């Protein structure tokens, strides 16, 4: 079972999680990140690094964000890999204003 990035990441795209990932499972979209479920090893490293609580084990994704399970699986096949820190977006949709 892989981890899943969900809605709270949109507009934030804080990359601490991607930098912590030991297997390069993160992929970068325009305003959010996703996790490739075929690469994720369920190590918990990303979970501890997400300041907006956007990452969940697949079987614990809240009902309102269940569609993100499919989105992560699909988008991770086409988006570029990210494994380093980048400046976060912190746009108006992000629930955290500064780090």
pTM comes to 0.94
Q: Which residues pair with 64 in a beta bridge?
A: none
Q: How many domains, in total, are found in the chain?
A: 1
Q: Note whether residue 96 is domain-resident.
A: no
Q: Note whether residue 66 is domain-resident.
A: yes
**How far is 72 from 52, CA to CA, in rounded Å?**
17
Span 25-82, pLDDT tens digits: 999 999 999 999 999 999 999 999 999 999 999 999 999 999 999 999 999 999 999 9
Q: Note whether residue 6 is domain-resident.
A: yes
Find the domain containing 16 and state its range. Answer: 1-74
Which tokens sit at 59? 């079987």
Q: Note whether residue 69 is domain-resident.
A: yes
Compute how many other C-beta atoms are within 10 angstroms of the C-beta atom of residue 55.
Answer: 21
The phi, psi pair for 34, rounded to 5°, reads -135, 165
Q: What is the CATH number of the domain that holds 8?
A: 3.30.70.20
Q: Note whether residue 81 is domain-resident.
A: no
Query: How far from chain centre, in Å, is Cα 38?
Result: 14
């Amino acid at each position: 079972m892989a981890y899943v990035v969900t809605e709270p990441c949109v507009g934030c795209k804080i990359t601490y999680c991607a930098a912590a990932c030991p297997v390069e499972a993160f992929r970068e979209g325009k305003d959010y990140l996703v996790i490739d479920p075929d690469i994720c090893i369920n190590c918990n490293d990303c979970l501890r690094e997400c300041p907006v609580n956007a990452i969940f084990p697949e079987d614990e994704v809240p009902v309102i964000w269940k569609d993100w399970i499919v989105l992560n699986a699909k988008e991770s096949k086409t988006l570029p890999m990210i494994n380093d820190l980048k400046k976060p977006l912190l746009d108006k949709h992000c629930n955290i204003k500064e780090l």
